[in-house]
Chains A and B, each alone.
With several copies, the nearest count.
Chain A
């Protein structure tokens, strides 16, 4: 990939992985099917051929083991990038993530640390089998000691992933697989990183703030365009990093617009959207000119794929919520 032709998100991820492995011998990749097969979504294609099986490891089938191994490797100063094949299969790794990866630095007062990236595709919309479509970022966003990052475009995927790899602490890097291949952008392979604690303002507007992340950015931007045609100027914020949350950008935007819709694919209950709404209710109550509106997944299990489109939030729901919020006075 020359970086000069437009590429999609999964290619941008592959580009960033190549870049990181080329520039730092301590970067290694491990997971199920990441080697010879190049990953079930092709995110790791070419890595084994370029960097060898010592640095690109097909592991036995055990996510708990993948996480535990990665922690030991990271403590030795390697920078493991572990792939969990689908986010629905990350749960076996929970104990190692919560009890060790997130705590190693704190536990040892900085004597040891855990520069680990766990990549996992998340979210629905690709007609996949059960457990292949969940959005459970909030479980990880609430764990002290982790960073949780979700890109929403090829360029941001490239820059955020490079940052995640360079970051000296563990990063959960969640990839919205529904848009893995839906958008192409020119991505310069220049090693430029993007900050891991900052929201991106994708569109400016004074009337209402649309706050979203990951795969729902697509629908959110669509809604913003359609609303603009009706004269409603939306500010679109891509949260990008779920933890630490960039409260300042969010507060500033809602401070300006006084209205806000939070859009997510995940169920609403105890989610990142809840936290954002909570921050606004605690710290920006007087700015709010209308109740906060939330658009998200239902608080039920993601249905098997025949009904999944009935589950996933759609553009028209965002538009409806924004209009209701605008009408409020």
Chain B
């Protein structure tokens, strides 16, 4: 018996849930700038989230997927991406989209049931939210293939949930990313739940990162509530991708602090103690305590920042609520580059039906 393969997965953490430094910090994290920036962005994301849920509860928004608990993941990754890199998100990445430059009002538009929430100029070549689980991973590989074919120095980033790791798409994506050495970084937001199904029922494997081993690519686990760990891993993975050194899978271990979406009621399946443990580890408090300890962030900063972000968000909400709906014709106008004749007729019919309704 010979050993024909050996592989392993590491776990990285710098700042633990008691906000203690457990590994020597990298240079950039020895000064306030980046960490404070991450903190500020996370706060906006959390506030935006609360606002969106409130809007949904009052019938002003559709079903909404909270990002509470994955702010660190989203903010750090999106911050490290270059403009010309491509983001291929799933449906829980508003915070990424915000950092990528989408207006908060545009993000609300999406969750308000309006396709224009996918057509922000700031999205450039980024993909829109992806609802069919794990399919985005293959789109990312296609984008990365195009980048490779054209010899560009860009990275593609795809993010998915722990549940999504069970779907063939994800594993096919890892495999082709490996064999074609594609410039792509896969991030698992392992928030421990796929709606009501706990992580343990998705796979018996102790880590999700080890799925990389199947594909012969780099895989690692990081503390998804620790911005420093995230930054270190993601930065390196992005750089490798841009330099043509191949793909990376990063499992970011987090916890879903909210219901799955506003259509869900997690108390049906989740013990309050589990949720409490999640809150003990969450990224914002952890970083705030650390920043406080370093003297980089004070109560007064907090108050000011909360005010600033509230105003920002309220503006976005106003803008969202003031956006008139798309015309009925929009159901047809983007289906094909050139609308077939029969659909032109249906388009006319739809318009006159809505005019009739409006006038009656």
Residue of B nearest to A304 (CB): B113
Asked if residues B202 and A61 are in contact (CB atoms below 8 Å), the reply is yes
Bound complex: CA of A32 vs CA of B198, how far in Å? 11
* A1 CB within 8 Å of chain B: no
Within B124-141, the residues touching A (CB, 8 Å) are 125, 127-128, 131-135, 137-141
Within B118-161, the residues touching A (CB, 8 Å) are 118-119, 123, 125, 127-128, 131-135, 137-147, 149
Within A93-138, the residues touching B (CB, 8 Å) are 95-96, 99-100, 105-113, 127-132
- Chain B 38-68, CB-CB to A under 8 Å as 1, else 0, gives 0000000000000000000000001100000
Tell me whether A145 and B202 are in contact in the complex, defined as CB-CB below 8 angstroms, given that A244-B341, A306-B325 are known contacts. Answer: no
Bound complex: CA of A275 vs CA of B190, how far in Å? 46
Bound complex: CA of A73 vs CA of B328, how far in Å? 31
Bound complex: CA of A68 vs CA of B118, how far in Å? 19
* B116 CB within 8 Å of chain A: yes
Bound complex: CA of A304 vs CA of B331, how far in Å? 9
Within A16-75, the residues touching B (CB, 8 Å) are 28, 32-33, 35-38, 40, 54-55, 58-65, 67-75
Asked if residues A248 and B115 are in contact (CB atoms below 8 Å), the reply is no
Asked if residues B332 and A300 are in contact (CB atoms below 8 Å), the reply is yes
Which of chain B's residues have a CB closer than 8 A to the CB of A88? Answer: 131-132
Within B307-351, the residues touching A (CB, 8 Å) are 325-326, 328, 330-332, 334-337, 340-343, 346, 350
* B213 CB within 8 Å of chain A: no
Which of chain A's residues have a CB closer than 8 A to the CB of B133? Answer: 61, 89
Give the total number of A-B pairs whose CB atoms are below 8 A apart.
236
Bound complex: CA of A60 vs CA of B340, how far in Å? 36
Tell me whether A303 and B331 are in contact in the complex, defined as CB-CB below 8 angstroms, given that A73-B146, A108-B115, A109-B119 are known contacts. Answer: yes
Residue of A nearest to B346 (CB): A298
Residue of B nearest to A168 (CB): B337
Bound complex: CA of A129 vs CA of B264, how far in Å? 14
Tell me whether A169 and B268 are in contact in the complex, defined as CB-CB below 8 angstroms, given that A69-B176, A71-B142, A129-B131 are known contacts. Answer: no
* B169 CB within 8 Å of chain A: yes
Closest Cβ of chain B to A26, distance in Å, is 9
Tell me whether A145 and B175 are in contact in the complex, defined as CB-CB below 8 angstroms, given that A61-B167, A68-B142, A299-B346 are known contacts. Answer: no
Asked if residues B168 and A62 are in contact (CB atoms below 8 Å), the reply is yes
Bound complex: CA of A92 vs CA of B145, how far in Å? 21
* B72 CB within 8 Å of chain A: no
Q: Is the interface of B mostly helix, strand, loop or mixed?
A: helix
* B5 CB within 8 Å of chain A: no
Asked if residues A60 and B203 are in contact (CB atoms below 8 Å), the reply is yes
Closest Cβ of chain A to B262, distance in Å, is 11
Residue of B nearest to A98 (CB): B132
Asked if residues A33 and B197 are in contact (CB atoms below 8 Å), the reply is yes
* B164 CB within 8 Å of chain A: yes
Within B251-287, the residues touching A (CB, 8 Å) are 263-264, 268-269
Asked if residues B330 and A307 are in contact (CB atoms below 8 Å), the reply is yes
* A76 CB within 8 Å of chain B: yes
Closest Cβ of chain A to B10, distance in Å, is 25
- A108 contacts which of B114, B119, B137, B145 (Cβ < 8 Å)? B119
- B141 contacts which of A68, A95, A128, A131 (Cβ < 8 Å)? A68
Closest Cβ of chain A to B156, distance in Å, is 8
Bound complex: CA of A36 vs CA of B128, how far in Å? 32
- A70 contacts which of B118, B134, B142, B330 (Cβ < 8 Å)? B142
Asked if residues B149 and A65 are in contact (CB atoms below 8 Å), the reply is no
Asked if residues B138 and A72 are in contact (CB atoms below 8 Å), the reply is yes
Which of chain A's residues have a CB closer than 8 A to the CB of B203? Answer: 60
Asked if residues A107 and B354 are in contact (CB atoms below 8 Å), the reply is no
Asked if residues A96 and B112 are in contact (CB atoms below 8 Å), the reply is no
Which of chain B's residues have a CB closer than 8 A to the CB of A127? Answer: 62-63, 113
Which of chain A's residues have a CB closer than 8 A to the CB of B175? Answer: 60, 62, 65
- A298 contacts which of B147, B331, B334 (Cβ < 8 Å)? B331
Bound complex: CA of A66 vs CA of B172, how far in Å? 10
Asked if residues A298 and B340 are in contact (CB atoms below 8 Å), the reply is no
* A278 CB within 8 Å of chain B: no
Asked if residues B164 and A78 are in contact (CB atoms below 8 Å), the reply is no
* A197 CB within 8 Å of chain B: yes
Asked if residues A64 and B172 are in contact (CB atoms below 8 Å), the reply is yes
Residue of B nearest to A308 (CB): B113
* A247 CB within 8 Å of chain B: yes
Within B81-100, the residues touching A (CB, 8 Å) are 88, 91
Which of chain B's residues have a CB closer than 8 A to the CB of A33? Answer: 195-197
Asked if residues B337 and A105 are in contact (CB atoms below 8 Å), the reply is yes
List 13 A-B pairs, Cβ < 8 Å. A38-B268, A54-B149, A68-B139, A69-B138, A75-B142, A76-B147, A89-B133, A106-B335, A127-B63, A127-B113, A144-B335, A299-B346, A301-B335
- Across the A-B interface, give the 9 residue pairs with the lowest CB-CB distance, nearest first: A72-B142, A68-B138, A244-B340, A37-B196, A76-B146, A305-B113, A60-B166, A306-B113, A109-B119
Binding site for A on B (CB under 8 A): 62-63, 88, 91, 112-116, 118-119, 123, 125, 127-128, 131-135, 137-147, 149, 163-164, 166-169, 172-173, 175-176, 179, 194-197, 201-203, 263-264, 268-269, 325-326, 328, 330-332, 334-337, 340-343, 346, 350, 353-354
What 9 new A-B contacts, CB under 8 Å, besides A33-B197, A62-B166, A132-B131?
A: A55-B149, A69-B145, A73-B146, A76-B147, A88-B132, A100-B132, A109-B119, A169-B336, A300-B331
